[in-house]
Amino acid sequence: GGMEKKKIDDTEQGGVPAVRVDRFGFVKQELNSPDGLVKSKSAFEYEREERRIRKWRKMIGVGGSDWKHYVRRKPHVVKRRIRKGIPDCLRGLVWQLISGSRDLLLMNPGVYEQLVIYETSASELDIIRDISRTFPSHVFFQQRHGPGQRSLYNVLKAYSVYDRDVGYVQGMGFLAGLLLLYMSEEDAFWLLVALLKGAVHAPMEGLYLVGLPLVQQYLFQFELLVREHLPKVGEHFIQEMINPSMYASQWFITVFSYSFPFHLALRIWDVFLFEGVKIVFKVGLALLKYCHDDLVKLPFEKLIHALRNFPEDAMDPDTLLPLAYSLKVSKRLEELKQEYEKKNGKLAESVKQKKQPP
């Protein structure tokens, strides 16, 4: 995977006992490891994986030189392959290509270093406070003041200086942490910029501005989509007084990188970076649809628990994602956005009221 260069030799860490980790570097719970993916690959699977990687390498070209050309010529092929999952060894590079962050980096040489070394940020203490809460079960981020935590701090601090209106908000750590497992600090920083500022898709910064204006819009859209796609669930939620802010805010704020199985989060991110936020709506709806029959029976307390702890079989990417892809939401999302803006004024207005200095 994209982790080779980051695996630190155990002996260097002052004799930290070696821990068992899954293929992504998360510490394994010894019992029945939830990541049933550790089974050794059959020769057939191995062959198939190798074939996929060769196809992808051809599509990308050396260092990404053929990518844009390929996307222009065969967008449907690219979309289909991304939905099947980007090979892990190429994920970091492909994420940079599809998010537009590679271009930002090339246009801004030396800027990241400048932000890290010479600037100070009002958010430094907040960032330090949250660092150890970000992916606490991943070896790269576990060591106090270790290289993982240091990189995470640098990226978040640099962003808070680069964009003082947003500054730093806790959810951003999960985005940055996920990116750092697949790319360098500087690359992760520019991908964060690409996402929040909207290099390819709608900007995400509204998720992190004061009052979380974009979260409010997304939850409004999601609630109505639930009622339309899953009327029984929607009805039951109304009766039990469950609204999406009780369970779905984190989905949008961290794009499923918080508390979801890592291998599923990665697959969602592959699609999210290429197709935009609508995949978050689709996956959310697919989860509710998959658990439909259980959800409509549960009372309030148990519902809250169920919506934060989906069963393992619901989290299998090969079941959940095809279900998500089958749901059509684009047109309706656009209509609901207009409806939301009529009711609440355009998001741009709330964004203009910059953060008041403390």
How far is residue 299's CA from residue 161's CA, in Å, rounded to a whole number?
Answer: 46
What percent of the chain is predicted at pLDDT more than 70? 88
SS3 content of the chain, % helix, strand, coil (to 5): 65, 0, 35
Mean pLDDT of the chain: 88
Is the confidence at residue 5, as pLDDT, over 50? no
Give the confidence band of 118 by pLDDT, cuts at 50, 70, 90: confident
The residue with greater pLDDT, 37 or 326, is 326
Which range is most confident: 4-8, 117-121, 315-319?
315-319
For position 14, what pLDDT does the model report? 47
Q: Which residues pair with 27 in a beta bridge?
A: 21
User: DSSP labels for 97-142?
Assistant: HHHTHHHHHHHSTTHHHHHHHH---TTHHHHHHHHTTSSTTBHHHH
pLDDT digits 0-9 by tens, 50-94: 999 999 999 999 888 889 999 999 999 999 999 999 999 999 999
Residue from 265, 271, 95 nearest 184 by CA: 95
pLDDT digits 0-9 by tens, 147-178: 899 999 999 999 999 999 899 998 899 999 99
Instruction: Evaluate whether 153 touches 341 at the Cβ level (below 8 Å).
Output: no
CA 223 to chain centre: 21
pLDDT digits 0-9 by tens, 256-311: 998 899 999 999 999 999 999 999 999 999 999 999 999 999 999 999 999 999 99
* Cα–Cα–Cα angle for 82, 178, 154, rounded to 5 degrees: 135
Region of 209 please: left (phi>0), alpha (psi -120 to 50) or beta.
beta
pLDDT digits 0-9 by tens, 45-54: 889 889 999 9
Give the confidence band of 30 by pLDDT, cuts at 50, 70, 90: low
For position 140, what pLDDT does the model report? 86
